[in-house]
Amino acid sequence: MKNAVLITSHYLGSRRRAGFHFIADALRRGGWHVTFMTVGFSEVSRLKREHRFDYRADREAGRLITLAPGLDSYVWFTPFHPVNRLPAPIAWAATPVFARYGSLPLPNANGFIREADLFVFESTAGLMLVDRFRALNPQARLVYRVSDDLRALRAHSVVRDAEQRVLPQFDLVSVPSQAIFDILSPLSPKVRLQHHGIDKAAFDVPGPSPYGERNTTNAVFVGIANLDREFLAVAAELHPGWRFHVFGPFAAMGPPNIVSHGELPFGDTVPFIVHADVGLAAVTRIPNAEVLSDSLKVIQFTYARLPFVVPDFIRSARQNAIPYVPGDRQSIRGALEQAATFDRSTISRDGILSWDELAAALAGDLVI
């Protein structure tokens, strides 16, 4: 059995299933032993009331914990880590401290680092460990799976500098969107456009509709951040007969036709997506928002052959993407009505990967 180490900001036991969780599952199905290493987690995280503390992940610090056959978890909990989105003066003052992050102790980690055949790094402060991992294990395949653009995240300069420094070392730089490809491809010939995968089996057999037999148009938003609440309020007012379903850590909104489901396991949200009438990729403007044009929710909507509305600043090339102008009531009305009458049979699934296909590409077993 080959050994893979995934270096990510996510915690293995979290209810929030991110791409790295699905990649870990896919690698295990492919016969790999996976160590899921959580980084970018420290005492500083307490100030942000991080959800990883909800699982008491800090209590697992520095221990290799076997959770299932072929699956280990390792939490690198440190005194500090480079923090995103700091005001410029604070970020500058913290630079000498943050620059030491990659050299902090890694208790009980050298063994699984040396035994690895594959390292997959996420776009996090974990990039500051690349040189260290390479020194311990120069033979392993080294992959950078870029889940987010560090510039859009406003990552600290020490992390962005680390990305620039180690990029040439990677055997593969796998990016999920054309926008990130355009940023990184001039810097390395190893950059490949490989969109997010999806669990095709879950979408192909989603179970019965959770919406029942009501003759109601159902629109669905799934995410953990950047919900355009102004859009949602306007949409609910314009279409009082519709139901707007929101999945994620968002406070409930007043209109009775906005249904807040909170955070649910991924599998529980799939029927809501597949049986919906309209997808909502309604997000607020963030730096480099164009990277969201190929977000996981967009891939899921497309595989479910679901038309979706999206703010015009994202400029999605998907045929089922229907733009609206944020804050413009007439534009929002028109986009929703166009989505509700869209011919779903015309939506193509071509080029959408399963997580197994993406994992095989990261492992070097499939060329995409």
Amino acid 289: pLDDT: 63
pLDDT band at residue 362 under the 50/70/90 scheme:
very high
129-172 pLDDT, tens digit per residue, is 999 999 999 999 999 999 888 988 889 999 999 999 999 999 99
Domains: count for the chain: 2
Q: Report yes or no on 368 lying in a domain.
A: no
Q: Are residues 286 and 188 in the same domain?
A: no
Average pLDDT value over all residues in the chain: 93
State the average pLDDT over residues 255-284.
93
Q: Are residues 27 and 135 in the same domain?
A: yes
Q: Report yes or no on 258 lying in a domain.
A: yes
Of 8-22, 35-49, 118-132, 290-304, the one with minimum mean pLDDT is 290-304
- Predicted structure pTM score: 0.87
Can you give the three-state secondary structure of the chain, one letter per residue?
CCEEEEEECCCCCCCCCCHHHHHHHHHHHCCCEEEEEEEEEEHHHHHHCCHHHHHCHHHHECCEEEEECCEEEEEEEECCCCCCCCCHHHHHHHHHHHCCHHHCCCCCCHHHHHCCCEEEEECCHHHHHHHHHHHHCCCCEEEEECCCCCCCCCCCHHHHHHHHHHHHHCCEEEECCHHHHHHHHHHCCCEEECCCEECHHHHHCCCCCCCCCCCCCEEEEECCCCECHHHHHHHHHHCCCCEEEEECCCCCCCCCCEEEEECCCHHHHHHHHHCCCEEECCECCCCCHHHHHHCHHHHHHHHCCCCEEEECCCCCCCCCEEEECCCCHHHHHHHHHHHHCCCHHHCCCCCCEEHHHHHHHHCCCCCC
Q: Are residues 176 and 213 in the same domain?
A: no
Joined together, the tokens standing for residue 141 give: 């395949």
Q: Report yes or no on 367 lying in a domain.
A: no
Q: Is the confidence at residue 242, as pLDDT, over 90?
A: yes
Residue 295 or residue 242, greater confidence:
242
State the average pLDDT over residues 9-15.
90
Of 32-46, 61-75, 210-224, the one with minimum mean pLDDT is 210-224
* CATH number for position 321: 3.40.50.2000
Question: Can you give the residue range of the structural domain that contains 281?
Answer: 201-346
81-127 pLDDT, tens digit per residue, is 999 989 999 999 999 999 999 999 999 999 999 999 999 999 999 99
Residue 183 or residue 292, greater confidence:
183
pLDDT band at residue 290 under the 50/70/90 scheme:
low
Q: Report yes or no on 214 lying in a domain.
A: yes
